[in-house]
Chains A and B, each alone.
Chain A
Amino acid sequence: SQKIEQNSEALNIQEGKTATLTCNYTNYSPAYLQWYRQDPGRGPVFLLLIRENEKEKRKERLKVTFDTTLKQSLFHITASQPADSATYLCALATSGGYNKLIFGAGTRLAVHP
């Protein structure tokens, strides 16, 4: 069956450290993958998109990697801050020309001062 898995346990890290979140998938061939941030009571906010032919994408303190052989994406936040505390969602899109995204359940990140 098709699955997207993110760490279900919360990730607790110290301010200034690098947070690494994992997204694994099975039985999909995604055309691209997106990462979103979600705060309590709010909708997801887009962070980064990486295509199947890209290995790595960066934006400020954020970095995403995409390994289609391992069927895995890693999401890194460097020099983490308490304001980075939120739930991070990965989402796959196969093809079809529109954003029929399949989301993982998300990983909650808590950055402690």
Chain B
Amino acid sequence: GAGVSQTPSNKVTEKGKYVELRCDPISGHTALYWYRQSLGQGPEFLIYFQGTGAADDSGLPNDRFFAVRPEGSVSTLKIQRTERGDSAVYLCASSAETGGNEKLFFGSGTQLSVL
């Protein structure tokens, strides 16, 4: 595709439910990132994938959060037993290489609302 695609664009759920957020990166991009952005704040790093493996998951808040990228392209962020504090915009980004100074291409995000 032309850009990073995230689905759904909006997700409303009830406290305690399970949600999955999907990210389709730009074709051929090996690096994939998840960030979380709360209202009025900058994005906050969650996890980085290089290919299929999670090279750095140090930003995941707790063990309710998990992400996979089984074939090295599409990634899914999974949140169990959602809490109201999980409400935020979840952003996915990809980049072509992993030199460390490649620009990130972000999707438009998934707005998660936990009622």
Contact = CB atoms under 8 A, between A and B. Distances in A.
Interface of A: 4, 31-32, 34, 41-46, 49, 51, 89, 91, 93, 95-106
Contacts of B91: 43-44
Prevailing SS type, chain A contact patch: loop
10 contacts: A43-B106, A44-B104, A95-B100, A97-B98, A98-B55, A98-B98, A99-B101, A100-B59, A103-B35, A105-B42
Nearest to A104: B42
Given A42-B108, A100-B45, A104-B42, A34 B100 contact: no
Interface size classification for chain B: 20 to 34
Contacts of B100: 31-32, 93, 95-99
A103 B42 contact: yes
